[in-house]
Amino acid sequence: KHRVYGVIGRSSTGTTEDGNDGASPSSPNATWYHAFDTDRMGNYHRATFSNNATFLAITNSFLVHLENCCAGPDNPLEYILDVPLSDLSAMLVGKFNNIDNSKKTNFQKTLEEVWHIDLANSPPIQMERLAQIYHGPLIAFSMFAQYANTFGNQTQHAIERMAQSRSNARFVNVRRHIAALGECSSTAKRLTVGICDDSNPNGHRCSGAHGGHPTLGAWDAMEAVHDILGQSST
């Protein structure tokens, strides 16, 4: 079976580099779909593996700030994924950028100047609303940064509430291995590999030639996915 996995969330920081050199909508009412083709802030990734599984990822996108981002015919989420939500084998959802963690960042500036979106008045879609739209396997995960513990707790409680009415939702706490391995933040900036630094609980976690907390979090997420898919196939 051709499995398709979708991941939606933010990157490890809300301050991506400013590289918006493409065409932009001419007005706030412009067609959004063409904008995806020229968006340099949003990161849209697609990879198909030898086992015929396809991995789709969206990070740091204005998409989740659109009122009609994920519902209705020809909605922007399905447009950029190029797959109907009903065809996804599973969806992994992380934290979305909001006004609290994006003030004075390139992300906020780009939303305002290029996409005409006021972040303060256009909060991202809530995971609970996304779960009402997407009925397939849903994996929600926390953040590595210690400052986001509140978000992680809120997400876990939301998944526990969902469990009362659906059996295909899971929560992955990506900080659960820190008690045994330490914070292990990276000493290097992104796109390079650093060494473990236990003094910074809010840093990047891309460290070590043999992986680190991100690798463990990815395995935990895939175990959660396979747990749900295993239930659905029996």
Please report whether residue 51 resides in a domain: yes
Please report whether residue 15 resides in a domain: yes
Q: Starting at the earlier edge strand, list the strands of the sheet with 169-172.
A: 43-48, 54-59, 4-9, 90-93, 138-141, 169-172
Please report whether residue 41 resides in a domain: yes
Tell me the two tokens of residue 124.
Answer: 């991202």
- CA 16 to chain centroid, in Å, comes to 14
Tell me which residue range forms the domain holding 66. Answer: 4-176+213-232
C-alpha–C-alpha distance, residues 9 and 221, integer Å: 14
* pLDDT value, residue 79: 83
3-state secondary structure 49-112: CCCCCEEEEEECCHHHHCCCCCCCCCCHHHHHHCCCHHHCCEEEECCCCCHHHHCCCHHHHHHH
Please report whether residue 181 resides in a domain: no
- How do the pLDDT tens digits run along the chain, 234 residues long? 456 565 666 654 433 333 332 333 333 334 455 555 555 555 778 888 898 888 888 888 888 888 888 888 778 888 888 889 999 999 999 998 887 878 888 888 888 887 788 888 989 998 999 999 999 999 999 999 999 999 999 999 999 999 999 999 999 999 999 998 899 888 776 666 777 888 989 887 876 666 788 889 999 999 999 999 887 543
Domain count of the chain? 1
Residue 146 DSSP label? G
Please report whether residue 221 resides in a domain: yes
How many degrees, rounded to 5, is the angle at CA 225 between CA 214 and CA 128? 90
Please report whether residue 21 resides in a domain: yes
Please report whether residue 195 resides in a domain: no
Please report whether residue 168 resides in a domain: yes
C-alpha–C-alpha distance, residues 141 and 159, integer Å: 10
* pLDDT value, residue 12: 47
C-alpha–C-alpha distance, residues 48 and 56, integer Å: 9
**Amino acid (one-letter) located at 185:** S
CB 168 within 8 A of CB 231: yes
Phi, psi of 93 (to 5 degrees): -125, 130
Cα 195 to Cα 147, 204, 206, 208: the distances in Å are: 21, 11, 9, 6
Q: pLDDT digit string (tens) for 105-140?
A: 888 888 888 778 888 898 999 899 999 999 999 999
Q: Which residue has the tokens 């015919």?
A: 73
Q: How many CB atoms lie within 10 A of CB 228?
A: 19
What CATH number is associated with residue 164?
Answer: 3.40.50
